[in-house]
Amino acid sequence: MGVTEKLMRYISIKTPCNEKADSVPTSTCQFNLAEILVEELKELGMDQVVLDERCFVYGILRASEGYEDCKKLGFIAHMDTVSEFCEEEIVPVMTKQYNGEDLTLQKCGRILSVKDFPHLKELKGRTLITSDGSTILGVDDKAGIAEIMQMLQTMIEEKIPHGQISVAFTPDEECGTGAAYFDFDTFDADVAYTLDGDGEGEIQYQNFNACEAKFTIEGKSVHPGSAKHVMINAVLLACEMNQMLPRYETPRYTEGYEGFYHLLSIHGDEGHAEAEYIVRDHNEPEFLVRKNTLRHIEKTMNEVWGDGTVKLEIKDEYRNMESVIKDHFYLVENAKQACMKAGVTPVICPIRGGTDGCKLSFKGLPCPNLGTGGHGYHGPMEHITVEGMEKVVDIILELVKIFANS
């Protein structure tokens, strides 16, 4: 069974997380995939294969004789998917010799367009894998799982010399809660890579600084016929505050290292309203400026409308792991070298979000992120190519060899 067949098997098992749940895992369906991965790891002859009560899967491939002193290298991918577009059965569609042009997905009439995804032109001639357009495909992050499993299979079958290799498949990455329960002792690695990025050759060690922000607005509701100079419409104040933010510093108008304010929701009525945001920036001083902008809005609104009208809560989520990786930059250099040995141009790019690797890095496990070959995550436009996945397998095999010989 090759990497494509592995992917097909894994995506057939729906594993949406549940952001409203307090437990880990947030959805029991993740165990369905975890149990299959445990079976496959044992069939490969992996040591210390573990499935714990929180749905973390761990396995260790012992070092080849004479390579016991190499750094212990880990690879991590997550089993859960987003919960959106998961209602129906996932039906993968393979388009051989893809022509690099707009592709109409088989169901719902959705179009995978070159306008929205310019890189499609570069995939011409490959075998493209999509869903039928009614669901996600699930390559975020089951492509990463398939590639790690294929790497292990190839190493064992071809008897490639290696240091200790640790693997982990984690729950609830999409919810942002799983990494808190990662068992570092069971994983037993010195350094690691997550496979949770986009195109093959991507190497990411910079992510957003991130926080959640919530404005709570207390209005004054009276009959509109006698509201002059009395009514304070909380929903209108929420809209007014949003207009105080920079208009073009939103996800739609930003890219690369540019940060943003993202309005998630405004809900309520005249008497009470809430406005929820996420705030992101790679640069820590600029991130602090963004948070101070929100605090200034809170202060100004209370000066205009009265103390206690607006209350702001800010909750930090994660930090930029660059501050950790810079002290272990050989991880990036080794990944670049592995890409070149596999015939892939390395692409250093920032993560416009966060990964488990970010949180793990700050807990003592330096963990850059690598691309899986997938694109269009978190919706029915998800896609990947067979050739892209095969290249990623080549890259991580070369990475293992580099660590074994360094």
Catalytic residue set: 80, 173
- From CA 303, how far away is CA 305, in angstroms rounded? 6
Tokens encoding 62: 């012992």
Query: Alpha carbon of 124 to those of 36, 114, 371, 375, 399: distances in Å?
Result: 34, 11, 19, 15, 27
Helix (H, G, I), strand (E, B) or coil at 139: helix
- Listed in sequence order, the DSSP H helices in 90-231 are 139-158, 184-187
| Alpha carbon of residue 312 to chain centroid | 28
Torsion over CA: 78, 83, 85, 88 (sign): positive
- From CA 199, how far away is CA 15, in angstroms rounded? 23
Beta bridge partners of 218: 272
Amino acid letter, 307: D
- From CA 24, how far away is CA 38, in angstroms rounded? 18
E strand or H helix at 217, and its extent? strand 209-218
- From CA 336, how far away is CA 379, in angstroms rounded? 30
- From CA 113, how far away is CA 130, in angstroms rounded? 13
Q: In terms of Cα–Cα distance, which of 279, 331, 311, 357 is closest to 78?
A: 357
Q: In terms of Cα–Cα distance, which of 309, 259, 249 is closest to 284?
A: 259
Q: What angle do CA 187, 190, 192 make, to 5 degrees?
A: 75
Peptide bond into 141 cis (omega under 30): yes
Amino acid letter, 251: P
